[in-house]
């Protein structure tokens, strides 16, 4: 009997819940035709809210309607990665790319130099040739770029190619990234047209959704869990899909049979060891020094904390404090439970920051 929870990066959970509308809208865009705005979609949200999982689920769904998906992580060799992945995914649908001609012969030590003549030297030419062959077979392609960032020449070239040919080929584009990185893409003047992409902001799962996800996932393994334990696990996760998987994994491992509140507490305690390295440290890497100054000051206070009290703990004036407060709210790190107050959104983050104080 295997553990039904999957806290590993990019691995689909056994039960997918709370994001069905995003997938439904995107698939509708593929079926509705080139003019549908969902064919260019941006998914954003804090780390741990399930952006990569949505891309993986879309990858499964597009296969059902006869499309293929090309998934890439944002990196320096983005264009070649996209091309190589596309060739791998559609190799059964396209002609071999080995049309070659002799460019030179040397006598003595006999040698023949070959040169490809069908793919061209430019990435755009190679992509165009592949898409032409797929279009002849009425096969569409969904390009997925994860962990996207702005100020990238590779992304500019890809996006410009996509814009130029979206009416010629069956293609769609979905990107995923944390909020300020999506913002950097949207404000890039060269590819400002991407602002027209449908923006899907991932929030937290509700308490009822969290409980349902936990209950249904445990049911897959036939290991019973009490409603009290489900409630504690849902509350401790804070509605973060990743934390549900991590906490659920350790809680499932905490007992060989039924799980009650005591076993749940043991599992949650074990999971807490990994939350700092697997989630909070990644979040901190995304923040500026000024962001960190604000959240470390907040960690020293009783929360929810008054904005005026927080200003007294930092070197920010009111305008600067409001600027960084709004930024951290958008990043999904803090929120305002009521007017004039702020608190952390991410479970365990305050406690983790206090270790460094």
| Comma-separated ranges of CATH 3.40.50.300 domains in the chain | 20-201
**Least reliable range by pLDDT among 97-106, 208-217, 329-338, 342-351:** 97-106
Summarize pLDDT for 166-221 with one digit per residue, the tens. 988 999 999 999 999 999 999 999 898 999 999 999 989 999 999 999 999 999 98
pLDDT, residue 115, reads: 41
Q: What b/e string do you get for 129-161 counting C-beta neighbours within 10 Å, with b at 16 or more?
A: ebbeebbeeebbbbbbbbebbbebebbbbbbeb
Helix (H) or strand (E) holding 173: strand 171-177
pLDDT for 125: 93
pLDDT in tens, 71-80: 999 988 899 9
- Could you give the residue range(s) of every CATH 1.10.8.60 domain in the chain? 207-284
Is the bond into 277 cis (omega within 30 degrees of 0)?
no
CA distances from 341 to 291, 321, 334 (A): 17, 12, 10
Give me the chain's average pLDDT, please: 89
Multiple choice CATH, 207-284, 1.10.8.60, 3.40.50.800, 3.40.50.12780, 3.10.129.10: 1.10.8.60
So what's the pLDDT on residue 181? 94
pLDDT of 94 reads 75
Residues of the chain above pLDDT 70, percent:
92
Among 163-167, 335-339, 353-357, the minimum mean pLDDT is found in 353-357
For residue 135, the SS3 value is helix
Q: How many CB atoms lie within 10 A of CB 164?
A: 11
User: What is the pTM for the complete model shown?
Assistant: 0.86
Reply yes or no on whether the pLDDT at 117 is more than 50: no
For 288-354, CATH number out of 3.40.50.970, 1.20.1420.20, 3.40.605.10, 1.10.10.10 equals 1.10.10.10
Phi and psi (nearest 5°) for 171? -135, 155
Whole-number Å distance between alpha carbons of 312 and 297: 10
Evaluate whether 4 touches 14 at the Cβ level (below 8 Å). Answer: yes
- pLDDT above 80 for 335: yes
For domain 20-201, the CATH class is alpha beta
* Environment class of 274 (CB within 10 Å of its CB; exposed 0-12, middle 13-18, buried 19+): middle
Mean pLDDT within 85-99: 74
H-helix segments, the chain: 20-32, 51-64, 78-89, 123-136, 153-165, 179-186, 207-221, 227-237, 241-253, 261-275, 281-285, 289-299, 307-313, 318-330, 349-354
In which band, very low, low, confident or very high, does the pLDDT at 151 lie, cut at 50, 70 and 90? Answer: confident
Q: Is the pLDDT of residue 237 over 90?
A: yes
> Do 6 and 228 contact (CB within 8 A), yes or no?
no
CATH 1.10.10.10 residue window(s) in the chain = 288-354
Q: What residues contact residue 175 under an 8 Å CB cut-off, 6+ apart?
A: 41, 42, 43, 144, 145, 146, 148, 182, 185, 197
Q: In this model, does residue 250 exceed pLDDT 70?
A: yes
Contact 230, 215 (CB under 8 A): yes
* Per-residue pLDDT at 34 exceeds 90: no
Spatial strand order in the sheet of 171-177: 68-73, 141-146, 171-177, 40-44, 198-201
Structure-model confidence comparison of residues 150 and 283, the more confident one? 283
Q: What percent of the chain has pLDDT over 90?
A: 77
So what's the pLDDT on residue 129? 92
């Amino acid at each position: 009997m295997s553990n039904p929870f999957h806290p590993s990066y990019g691995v689909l959970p056994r039960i997918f819940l709370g994001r069905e509308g995003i997938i439904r809208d995107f698939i509708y865009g593929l079926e509705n035709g080139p003019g549908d705005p969902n064919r260019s979609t941006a998914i954003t949200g804090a780390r741990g809210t399930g952006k990569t999982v949505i891309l993986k689920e879309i990858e499964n769904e597009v296969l059902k309607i006869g499309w293929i998906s090309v998934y890439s992580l944002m990196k320096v060799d983005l264009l070649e990665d996209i091309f190589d992945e596309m060739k791998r995914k559609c190799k059964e649908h396209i002609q071999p790319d080995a049309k070659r001609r002799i460019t030179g012969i040397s006598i003595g030590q006999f040698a023949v130099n070959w040169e490809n003549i069908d793919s061209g030297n430019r990435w755009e030419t190679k992509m165009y040739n592949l898409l032409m062959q797929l279009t002849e077979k009425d096969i569409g392609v969904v390009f997925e770029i994860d962990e996207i960032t702005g100020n990238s020449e590779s992304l500019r070239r890809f996006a410009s190619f996509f814009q130029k040919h979206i009416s010629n080929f069956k293609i769609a584009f979905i990107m995923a990234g944390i909020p300020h990185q999506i913002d950097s893409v949207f404000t890039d003047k060269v590819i400002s047209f991407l602002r027209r992409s449908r923006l899907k902001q991932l929030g937290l799962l509700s308490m009822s959704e969290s409980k349902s996800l936990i209950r249904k996932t445990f049911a897959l393994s036939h290991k019973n869990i009490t409603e009290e334990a489900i409630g504690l696990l849902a509350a401790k996760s804070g509605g973060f899909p990743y934390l549900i998987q991590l906490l659920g994994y350790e809680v499932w491992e905490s007992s060989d049979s039924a799980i009650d509140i005591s076993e749940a507490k043991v599992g949650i305690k074990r999971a807490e060891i990994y939350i700092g390295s697997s989630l909070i440290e990644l979040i901190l890497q995304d923040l500026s020094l000024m962001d960190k100054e604000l959240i470390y000051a907040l960690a020293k206070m009783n929360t929810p904390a008054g904005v005026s009290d927080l200003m007294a703990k930092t070197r920010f004036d009111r305008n600067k404090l409001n600027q960084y407060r709004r930024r951290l709210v958008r990043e999904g790190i803090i929120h305002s439970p009521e007017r004039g107050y702020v608190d952390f959104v991410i479970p365990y983050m305050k406690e983790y920051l206090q270790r460094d104080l």
